[in-house]
Amino acid sequence: MSSKSQAALEFLTTYSWALVTIMIAIGALYYFGVFDFTRFMPQECLFPSQFECADFAFVGAPTNEIRFRLVNDIGETVNVKSFSITNRDVSPLICPDPVEVNCGGVSEPPSFDWDPGMDCDFTFTGCSGATFQKKLRTEADISMTYCAIATLGCPGTSNVDHIVKGKIITVVN
């Protein structure tokens, strides 16, 4: 019994440096985010090809922004009437401030005419929600209401309105 415990103790003392090295290495890898598997999950911006999503980012505190760039590929000038943003969390995503729109370097009001081929940047600020936290993966369901300028009744009435639904899934930076 005594020789067995001596052998076990000798084993531990001989190889403890190796165990410590491995533990430090694992700790370092964890610190640098190697085991952060959310990086390997798809980060995507799903909009129909008529409003192609060219870029997107979720920015955490202090600004708490959701930014994305859409291109008007529908082939018509459209009047964008409104946006809404939410998700399916228990405490859903809310962005209370009006959307900021910038098309080709020109700032536009939330309701504006969007020429074909033009790309516009949309920024929602002051966003909050259960999963809208730095380093967390979250999603945003975005709806845009628009009508085609050349269609009779646009933008005055709502019966020629269309809704584009998109979804952005990414990590808040």
Partner 1 sequence: MAIKSQSAIEYLLIVALALGFIVPTAYIFFKYAAKSNDEIIDSQITQIGNTIIDTAETVFFSGEGAKILLELRVPKNIIDVDIKSSRELIFNVLSEAGERELVFFSPANIKILSDDASPECTLSGDCGLSGLADEGFKKIKVEAFFDVIDQKTKAMIMEVN
CB 40, min distance to partner 1, A: 7
* Subset of 153-172 contacting partner 1 (CB under 8 A): 153, 159-160, 162-167
CB 69, min distance to partner 1, A: 17
Give the list of residues 6+ apart from residue 32 with CB closer than 8 angstroms, or none: none
Distance CA 43, CA 60 (A): 16
Q: Does 103 bind partner 1 (CB under 8 A)?
A: no
Q: Does 74 bind partner 1 (CB under 8 A)?
A: yes
Q: Does 100 bind partner 1 (CB under 8 A)?
A: no
In this chain, which of 9, 46, 106, 130 binds partner 1, going by CB under 8 A?
46
Structure tokens at 99: 């959307």
In this chain, which of 27, 33, 48, 98 binds partner 1, going by CB under 8 A?
48
Strand order in the sheet with 112-114: 44-46, 162-171, 137-148, 78-86, 112-114
Q: Does 137 bind partner 1 (CB under 8 A)?
A: no
Q: Does 47 bind partner 1 (CB under 8 A)?
A: yes
Q: Does 1 bind partner 1 (CB under 8 A)?
A: no
Burial 27-43 (b: 16+ CB within 10 A, else e): eeeeeeeeeeeeeeeee
Q: What share of the chain is helix, strand, coil (3-state, %, to 5)?
A: 20, 40, 40
Q: Does 117 bind partner 1 (CB under 8 A)?
A: no
